[in-house]
Structure 1
Amino acid sequence: MMAMLGVFMALALILGTANAVSLGAVSTEGGMVQGRSHSIGLFRYMDVFKGIPFAATPGKFQKPVPHPGWSGVLSTTSFGNKCMQLNTFATDVEGSEDCLFLNMWVPHGSSVSTNLPVMVYIYGGGFLLGSSQSTSFMSSYLYDGQQIADRGNVIVVTFNYRVGSLGFLSSGDADLPGNYGLWDQHAAIAWVHRNIRNFGGNPDNITIFGESAGGVSVGLQILSPQNKGLIRRAISQSGVALCPWAVNRNPRQYAEEIARKVGCPTDSGMVACLRMTDAKTLTLAGDVDMITSASEPMIQNLSLFPVVDGDFLPGEPDTLFGNAADIDYIAGVNDMDGHIFATLDVPSVNVPLLPTSVEEVRALSASFSESRGIDAGIATFDEYTFSWGSNPSETDIKKTAVELETDYIFLVPTQTSLYLHSDHAVSGRTYSYLFSEPSRMPVYPLWMGADHADDLQYVFGEPFNNPLIYFPRHREVSDHLISYWTNFAQTGDPNNGESTVPVAWPEFASSGHQYLEINSSMSSSSVKQMLKTRKVYYWTRVFASYPVVKKN
């Protein structure tokens, strides 16, 4: 009985001190904040802060400014408003103009942490949608940083930034320069740099990472001179600064379209009128035409993107890689990243009994080659169908549509970015990956690989949060990604850090432009080289050699 009593007393002592290892109230430049602390295991604890303001409510079409601050201790235990955006069906808006909040997960062992690496996540959503927590995924939010923070012993930060019309509408000149969402991202990163030491983080070891439009944002942030000295490392997942949809080079045209929708003139009075239009009306006007086809693909219907403004982006992205010379960089794609877009543009891709026609692949080739003319479209079609033979199977045709979208939208620009980063690097290291764990969607074809955003559930540790709906191999994939990502955040080398990895990942330029294929069956053969070199050569050399066609 006495022995049992001793066990209970010891357990009570452990449980009773679960909140003892905590930051408590933390001082920030705006005032004191108090999060929530809880035990996550034996002698492991987590402080979670949600809804910390990192800037004031932004003025319409204005850069963010510092928050005026608050008195007393601000309770930061629930997510702040998401930024105003279209709802799922684009019939109304959700969110608020008062939306510049960030969240933080701070792990502790037997004592309060100090000098931890910091990982700041930037969400995707086509620059139209998204929030710092994303949607609820089973029992938790997708962008919950606890698994990364705990398993990798790093601080994880997520934040909101303006999207849609309020974040990226631009007149193409100084009257309405745009990039307000990028300035929000910069403000969040700068706030973390100034304040993170009080939360136990190292301000000189900040890694930014993001997926899709978030990956593009990561690429643009490291290229911008505005972030000099703020960012140590970066990870772009399925999106880089050189993606064909990363920069809008004709923003005035789209601004005039929105102006007409909201009843504003398109002459010299346009910007003044847009500034007087209420935020909800502007947001609704920035919708997307969801009627797509192989000849008018979805990616070409998106227009609210960053712009070269001469300020945040002083030049074309491919000319700015010198600004990332000392930043360690990981970039990669999912092996069938373009599937979700191919499904919209060519719906038969996902229907086993419905054939995808050769003409649809031809139309897709022509639409992606439109800027270089008819001959380039023919060359693109020939490049992607040369292995078909005289009688291609249904699977061959469907997979070709997916490959074409994957390469054009994601893979080739990612490889080009890796070459440029490596070529301009001084101290910065460069790593390339291909994520190929097959999609778990039961309605997808058997030949399906990893679709766009399939990697996120593993990066954020969902197989550990929801063990009953994942297999052991999925937890292995999640462990691999978290280990590589957090080791990289700690040391700049994904192989070296507090976590064990299954395969040594060589630097991109170490020998033959190597990359790592990440999935649940990793071995020494997972290290490969020259990822899709033929297709990269086609798009960057052959296709680029065709003259640009001027639009009327």
Structure 2
Amino acid sequence: MEMFGILVAVAVLLETVSAASLGVVYTEGGLVEGTNIRLGYKHHMDVFKGVPFAAMPRRFEKPTRHPGWDGILKAKEYQKRCLQLNLLMNDVRGSEDCLYLNIWVPHVGGVVSSNLPVMVWIYGGAFLLGGSMGANFLDNYLYSGQEIADRGNVIVVTLGYRVGSLGFMSTGDSKMPGNYGLWDQHAAIAWVHRNIRSFGGNPDNITIFGESAGGASVSLQTLSPHNKGLFKRAISQSGVATCPWAINKTPRKFAEEVALKVNCPTDDSMADCLKMTDPTVLTLAGTLNLSSSPDSPLVYNLVLSPVIDGDFLPDEVHNLYHNTADIDYMAGVNDMDGHIFTGADVPSVNSQLVDTPIEEVKRLLGSLTKEKGTLGLDNAYSTYTLDWGSKPSRETIKKTVVAIETDYIFLIPTQAALYLHASKASTGRTYSYLFTEPNRLGGILSPFPGWLGADHADDLQYVFGKPFTTPLGYWPRHRSVSGYMIAYWTNFAKTGDPNKGDLKVPVTWPAFTSNDHRFLEINSKMDSSYVGQKLRLRYVNFWTSVFPNLPVVTSE
């Protein structure tokens, strides 16, 4: 027995001595050292947290290259998120010095990795908040790349970018053109392209992926001519460039509101005054009005967003899809993505015991179709109530309200983006999905109704492998979904085809083409019956063909 103990000790010692690790890595800014963690026998991972990809940004200017450092930078802790409002919007958190990224590099079989595919994550948060590490629960960060990197054998990178006033405020002219957060993302992608080989990555096989405002950011990065050749593939989850909240058409109006709050003039000297204003004051002044009603839906209040600046985005987004011709693109939505908005606009939707008045459904539709007047409302109402019958149930009405906002805010724009990508593709492939794993909080004792499908952001926990990280918080079916998503996502990152790679998938996912619009429904029960065609065709047809061709109402 003693002999056995000695042999085990020797084996552990030998493995520790030969632990696969990159050690100190050479980057353009200087030397960096991360943390090496042991995941199993001959199975290690290097984690680098807080690697600078740009200098501390100057206010309302594009990021610049980092000047570098002497000695070895210890990259072992997440750096602060970019200066932003807290969730209650009554205080700020974070720092202006925030352009850092984090890297997870898996090593399998005791050999240091080389030439691995790279996946670069862009977080969401309405362009208003968020961080490269995501929400933290008991030191378990949402955007830890460990599970994806380990299971998919890919390098995962997460990055920070400016949000809120400092990231997206624009005067609508060359003095303060905006899109600073998008430039930060671009600088991080470019840094990864230039440096990732030193970390064992393949600079010619980079996939960018993101969710919500991060998904829209991914989409915008594919459209910008500034990213030519920097990445090969892209995944947008619940957010694309064509979403109604992704581009602010009237940025000057919001900039003037902020200027008045911080005692700056609204004339030609506005930009100069804003640049000299305390960043905390600027951030606090950039609060959005999050109170809403059926007559003033929340989606119209998300005004701190990217702009058509003539530089990063040289034209309207639908005219830029030629730039995506050689990029493989995967995009999709959650089946009840709009629920988070509906809960604010029509609160009765979440009450199990209260009817949602049909009048509120009409008011909401009226707000979303207002430029087409009564004709727009009547057409929309008849489209959404076609299957109601004479006495629709309480649940039917509530589900319809959620469907209306899901369609308008996420699903229809995503179908449009997929169609535009497929129609301009030369070598780039296109894939469409609908995520339908029911929300874990829906049910009798919960604030949410039992019929709730996948709400906005419900996909994140599965893509980042949380059912494996914290198994006690999930059922086996949740591990199934997480395994499926990591397989499809990392296969796609490796080969441009979610079915081909190192991981087996439960169902073959057909490509989306301009003719057949095929998609995959993702959930724990998947089999071949979950491959569909022409997702929500009646509603896509209404919003993309019928509605745009109705005459615009000119007010007096």
Alignment TM-score, normalising by the size of structure 1: 0.98
For residues 14 and 41 of structure 1, do their structure 2 counterparts lie closer, same or farther at Cα, with a shift above 3 Å needed? farther
Shift of 1:515: 0.4
How far apart, CA to CA, are the structure 2 residues paired with 1:160 and 1:222? 18
User: What's the counterpart of residue 486 of structure 1?
Assistant: 490
Render the CA deviation track for 1:193-234: whole Å, top value 9, x for unaligned: 000000000000000000000000000000000000001000
How far apart, CA to CA, are the structure 2 residues paired with 1:551 and 1:220? 33
User: What's the counterpart of residue 387 of structure 1?
Assistant: 387
Shift of 1:290: 2.2
Amino acid at match of 1:526: Y
**1:314-325 alignment, distance < 5 Å:** 314-325=314-325
User: What's the counterpart of residue 347 of structure 1?
Assistant: 347
Render the CA deviation track for 1:339-366: whole Å, top value 9, x for unaligned: 1110111111111012111011111101
For residues 146 and 328 of structure 1, do their structure 2 counterparts lie closer, same or farther at Cα, with a shift above 3 Å needed? same
Amino acid at match of 1:137: F
How far apart, CA to CA, are the structure 2 residues paired with 1:187 and 1:268? 30
2:102 is the counterpart of 1:103: yes
User: What's the counterpart of residue 80 of structure 1?
Assistant: 79
Shift of 1:386: 2.0
Amino acid at match of 2:522: I
How far apart, CA to CA, are the structure 2 residues paired with 1:211 and 1:549? 35
Give the percent of matched residue pairs that are identical in Structure 1 and Structure 2: 61
Amino acid at match of 1:46: M
Identify which of 451, 463, 470 aligns with 2:455: 451
User: What's the counterpart of residue 363 of structure 1?
Assistant: 363
The answer to whether the 8 A contact 1:138-1:466 is kept is no
For residues 551 and 145 of structure 1, do their structure 2 counterparts lie closer, same or farther at Cα, with a shift above 3 Å needed? farther
**1:101-500 alignment, distance < 5 Å:** 101-109=100-108, 110-442=110-442, 443=446, 444-500=448-504
How far apart, CA to CA, are the structure 2 residues paired with 1:551 and 1:208? 43
Shift of 1:510: 8.5
User: What's the counterpart of residue 90 of structure 1?
Assistant: 89
The answer to whether the 8 A contact 1:166-1:283 is kept is yes
The answer to whether the 8 A contact 1:365-1:378 is kept is no
2:34 is the counterpart of 1:30: no
Shift of 1:170: 0.5
The answer to whether the 8 A contact 1:54-1:67 is kept is yes
3-state secondary structure, aligned to 1:342: helix
How far apart, CA to CA, are the structure 2 residues paired with 1:266 and 1:389? 54
How far apart, CA to CA, are the structure 2 residues paired with 1:261 and 1:356? 38
2:514 is the counterpart of 1:514: no
Amino acid at match of 1:104: I
How far apart, CA to CA, are the structure 2 residues paired with 1:551 and 1:15? 76
How far apart, CA to CA, are the structure 1 residues paired with 2:239 and 2:502? 28
3-state secondary structure, aligned to 2:331: strand
How far apart, CA to CA, are the structure 2 residues paired with 1:15 and 1:115? 23
The answer to whether the 8 A contact 2:422-2:514 is kept is no
Shift of 1:548: 3.9
Long gaps (5+) in structure 2: none
Amino acid at match of 1:216: A
Amino acid at match of 2:103: M
Shift of 1:549: 4.8
Shift of 1:527: 0.8
Render the CA deviation track for 1:290-327: whole Å, top value 9, x for unaligned: 22111111111111010000000000111101000000
3-state secondary structure, aligned to 1:373: helix
Shift of 1:7: 4.4
Render the CA deviation track for 1:135-192: whole Å, top value 9, x for unaligned: 1135510000000000000000001000000000011111110000000000000000
Judge which range, 271-280 or 31-40, deviates more.
271-280
The answer to whether the 8 A contact 2:152-2:503 is kept is yes
The answer to whether the 8 A contact 1:84-1:97 is kept is yes
Report runs of 4+ in structure 1 exceeding 3 Å deviation.
Answer: 547-552
Shift of 1:545: 0.8
For residues 277 and 139 of structure 1, do their structure 2 counterparts lie closer, same or farther at Cα, with a shift above 3 Å needed? closer
Shift of 1:22: 0.3
How far apart, CA to CA, are the structure 1 residues paired with 2:204 and 2:94? 33
How far apart, CA to CA, are the structure 2 residues paired with 1:548 and 1:149? 50
How far apart, CA to CA, are the structure 2 residues paired with 1:510 and 1:306? 28
How far apart, CA to CA, are the structure 1 residues paired with 2:301 and 2:332? 24
Shift of 1:430: 0.3
How far apart, CA to CA, are the structure 1 residues paired with 2:11 and 2:113? 23
3-state secondary structure, aligned to 1:255: helix
How far apart, CA to CA, are the structure 1 residues paired with 2:271 and 2:395? 50
Judge which range, 407-416 or 268-277, deviates more.
268-277
Shift of 1:539: 0.3
Amino acid at match of 1:22: S
3-state secondary structure, aligned to 1:57: coil
How far apart, CA to CA, are the structure 1 residues paired with 2:271 and 2:122? 29
User: What's the counterpart of residue 66 of structure 1?
Assistant: 65
Shift of 1:551: 7.3
User: What's the counterpart of residue 533 of structure 2?
Assistant: 529
What is the aligned-residue RMSD (CA, Å)? 1.4
How far apart, CA to CA, are the structure 2 residues paired with 1:377 and 1:262? 40
Shift of 1:388: 1.3
How far apart, CA to CA, are the structure 2 residues paired with 1:70 and 1:400? 56
Amino acid at match of 2:412: V
Q: How many residues align?
A: 551
Shift of 1:273: 1.3
Judge which range, 355-364 or 542-551, deviates more.
542-551
Long gaps (5+) in structure 1: none
Shift of 1:504: 0.6
Shift of 1:14: 5.6
For residues 549 and 45 of structure 1, do their structure 2 counterparts lie closer, same or farther at Cα, with a shift above 3 Å needed? farther
How far apart, CA to CA, are the structure 2 residues paired with 1:53 and 1:148? 22
Amino acid at match of 1:174: S
Render the CA deviation track for 1:84-107: whole Å, top value 9, x for unaligned: 000111111100100000000000
The answer to whether the 8 A contact 1:514-1:528 is kept is yes
Amino acid at match of 2:187: A
For residues 365 and 198 of structure 1, do their structure 2 counterparts lie closer, same or farther at Cα, with a shift above 3 Å needed? same
Judge which range, 528-537 or 142-151, deviates more.
528-537
User: What's the counterpart of residue 5 of structure 2?
Assistant: 5
For residues 452 and 72 of structure 1, do their structure 2 counterparts lie closer, same or farther at Cα, with a shift above 3 Å needed? same
Amino acid at match of 1:230: L
For residues 263 and 550 of structure 1, do their structure 2 counterparts lie closer, same or farther at Cα, with a shift above 3 Å needed? farther
Render the CA deviation track for 1:249-307: whole Å, top value 9, x for unaligned: 01111111111111111122211211111111110011011221111111111110100
How far apart, CA to CA, are the structure 1 residues paired with 2:297 and 2:169? 22
The answer to whether the 8 A contact 2:419-2:514 is kept is no
For residues 14 and 144 of structure 1, do their structure 2 counterparts lie closer, same or farther at Cα, with a shift above 3 Å needed? farther
Shift of 1:10: 4.9
How far apart, CA to CA, are the structure 2 residues paired with 1:418 and 1:302? 23
How far apart, CA to CA, are the structure 2 residues paired with 1:500 and 1:269? 59
